[in-house]
Structure 1
């Protein structure tokens, strides 16, 4: 695999050259730059590049100075100049400084560019790789091609040991040193080719002999990754995560397999203690959905069933190696359907329910499956408590309205409990929590208030009031009034008369 970067301050030129190269089986464009200084910083940062394709006239750095720096610091094996200048002396100076080819922009074609790249590859890149690889030349055929026909892409990511949320480098290690370390390990062990693309995750194109069995390749891949992990742990205080694609035969699949490796890295969501994730479709089975039952939400045992259903769903997704982002999306939609169904069922409490729905997006940002499961379960428990309390409060309000409408009647405790669909002990407990008074005290206070209303209007005798209030006799009403207010009815009427300065009716 030939690693290439393109440098040109004209965006159309960069796009044109990249279009010629992309899709070629043995070429990887690692980055494009509009600035020579940015490209030089990238190269000096340790990124391994085989060929630099650059314009010679750049606004921020003289092209000849750039070529000299690349050659003096051994930053790239090959250099191709693509320029508008047709001055022979200018081209000769570039070639003398170490450029391998000088092509006029107006003469650049896909065929010509690839011809120059193949020439540099055959004359300079392949021999260098053969010398560095263990067993060297045995790994290369007479045509100068690698004697292997099977590959796997391993995408690398560093994660802080102290904080699983921190990805890439945490600041404890110099990236340039790390790139050199990884490149040296890959070359020394003959694993394949190391890539550090611009603004993308680092990755390795692992190479295996074509005759090797799938089992042997899997063992070799695990050995390679174990070696990488052990070496990195010696030098940096970071966890090296490796996500490996499945094995493939055609290099044109590399971009697709890189994405597969990235997807494997995201499996860290399910198992945060693990560092090696390889594509394996053996666990594939029928996909399941997540649909909690809103109709049974207030029933006893619903939370236990929800916990089991959520755990089974997430375990199923882990076994299928589902992309965590897609799992969260499925979970988010399933929970939203549940929330809206619940809000429709309990319309009087819809604002309360939909308020909990607003918390779902934050929960879905959980970095690992255990935290997501914990936070979602906790929110459902809180919603259950809040909704049950609200429903009980609504029931109490209905009971109070009924008592108010029938305050002149003697509503027994058992009848009130039946109205709430609660047992008498549970009703008494909820009633006191809601009103702050026992049922008997509340009813007596409200009936005494009604007696006061009749007394205040001054139209009724005590016998008439007792009859209106359905007391068995007037004496019972008088005793209740005294017990509740601390004064007799006669004393109350005197107080009322003094306050109003008028007659309050017969005693």
Structure 2
């Protein structure tokens, strides 16, 4: 991409020149200006490749304009478009640093494009030679000096990694070139563009500054960078800022700090700058209640639970991959519990247990908002299919009744009445579905719920027996041992609960 501006005090000339080159062969016109003063003000903030200017203007003539540009290094190439045919004008313009001198009445799209590309190539060659000569000194020696530094990782796009976005909008070499010009020109520090890693800037700070002054200086630097970059790329830029450091040996640590900081963009996609604070690589298990999903408003209640989990991740500054992994585990458990609670057909349950759609949705989400939307879409589909399956399942109401009434006495007569079947017909169908008799199934369900309650030291054995439908604690103990192969005491001891306490 070749960045240009047009400076001419005649509006028709500006429009005509812009129509010849803007958008042609990677040439972009970043601005048109009616005076040299306006153009200089723009160039103070935005570096361009080529300035195309008239030689005679009211406030400052083109020759003076060239001198200021070269003195302050505000652009790389300069092309004069003039009505003056005298050789002395061209000679003076070239002596002051212009790259080309064209007569307006002879200019065509082809000739102007040719001169723009020629000036651009000439300056690119000169810059490459200069960069190769000073790169090692600049990137190593400069930072070996005593001082104060802040490292900023730069990322483009809205995702966890900006690599693909950068390739879509701008060649990485061009981005590095543009950034290096901005950072150098404004004396910010040093740009590093390591292979296959995030690009970063080491801002050089005044060691005498306090933290507030340092933050203000960084904000000013980023503002200048963003103002320049928005001219040439169509994606948002995000910065992760490390804490201050003074030794080169700390750069690796500070680079990781900046990466951790910018990773918080996952939770706040509209924020552009993230300052480092400690990031958590752990997260407590997330709990989703399976009992209400099929009830009216069940999906809305699930959404509330999911929103709380995401808010917790943001508040605790949990890494995105840690949050995703925890949600993956919790949602797989949630789906398993819903399916087990209603004893759906095996083929239906097999479809949703460990569902690849859920894994894909969570893995592909680039930010918390997308993650929430994707999960809700999958769970909404799950719920819709559950309801459809429920409506054509003549035992669905039976399993729902059992789930809701486990603490109470459940009889065969109750279930045959609910299912509108005779006792023989119900018993046969129930055995075919579950592979168990009603008593075995009820005991398994009650032991499953007891296992959950026994992990909580606040429940006594008598309370657990009452909440799970066993007539007394002794009966619970006997059935528990028979179904699990462990005593209640052994099971509770695994969770640090002593029955003697």
| Greater C-alpha Rg | 1
Q: Output the TM-score relative to the length of structure 1.
A: 0.47
